A = this chain, B = another copy of it.
Amino acid sequence: MTVTSILNAMSSPDPGSARRRGGRRGGTADTRGDILRAAREQFAAGYEATSVRAVARGAGVDPSLIVQFFGGKEGLFKAVLDDAIRPAEGMTPVLAGGTGEIGPQLAAYFFGIWEDPVRRPPFQAMLVSAASNAAAAEVLREFVRDEVIARLSVAVGGGAGSELRAELAGSHLIGAALVRYVYRIPPLCDAPLEDVVGPVGRAIQGYLTGGVAAAER
């Protein structure tokens, strides 16, 4: 799989649907989707700035419905993140490909989310909000633990150091994305995507497979 094919496969299946305005849904069938779309738009302003009430207004539903569907603001944020990042859908093919190209494939999947104008805002909101908001930080911690470390550490052979190595790889992805898309520091923010995905992919490949032998002793 090439970087481009992975990026294409990972892009939003229907970016237009995200531009639908809240409150205009036709029926109740997609109420959950309407809530998620309204939430995605509002969480882009940050976790703290978003309220269940405002999301309900945006989706044209009663706030109690959001509590019923998602449990509350934290659950809603998690659902928005899952919808944007789709960790199972995105990581399963990467992990199924064996570990030989896992670094580059994982980097391509990850930066594909950031390059997508629909999927990037909630991901960015999580990282920015988690730096200053305790509830958002807890969501991020759970997300990294359950979706990133749990999947990756098994893929790279398990063992004592595999969780730390998986998280170190993730920390590099996070840092590179922040510098490129949030802090916007040249030349990383202006470099062609391939010039970033390639080197970062090779760097995290070292974490994910370089130490497998040692961890398996």
Residues of A within 8 A of B (CB): 46, 127-128, 130-132, 137, 140-141, 144-145, 163-165, 167-168, 170-176, 178-180, 182-188, 191, 195-196, 199-200, 202-203, 206-207, 211
Contact = CB atoms under 8 A, between A and B. Distances in A.
Contact of A178 (B164, B171, B186): B171
A12 to B, nearest CB: 24
Nearest to A206: B203
A6 B132 CA distance: 30
A176 B175 contact: yes
B167 A171 contact: no
A131 B178 contact: yes
Given A167-B188, A203-B206, 8 more contacts: A131-B182, A141-B184, A144-B179, A145-B185, A167-B185, A168-B176, A175-B176, A175-B178
A148 to B, nearest CB: 9
A46 B130 CA distance: 14
A85 B73 CA distance: 38
Q: Which of A168, A182, A203 has the most CB of B within 10 A?
A: A168
Contacts of A132: 46, 128, 132
Contacts of A179: 144, 167, 170-171, 174
Q: Which of A132, A145, A191, A199 has the most CB of B within 10 A?
A: A199
B172 A188 contact: no
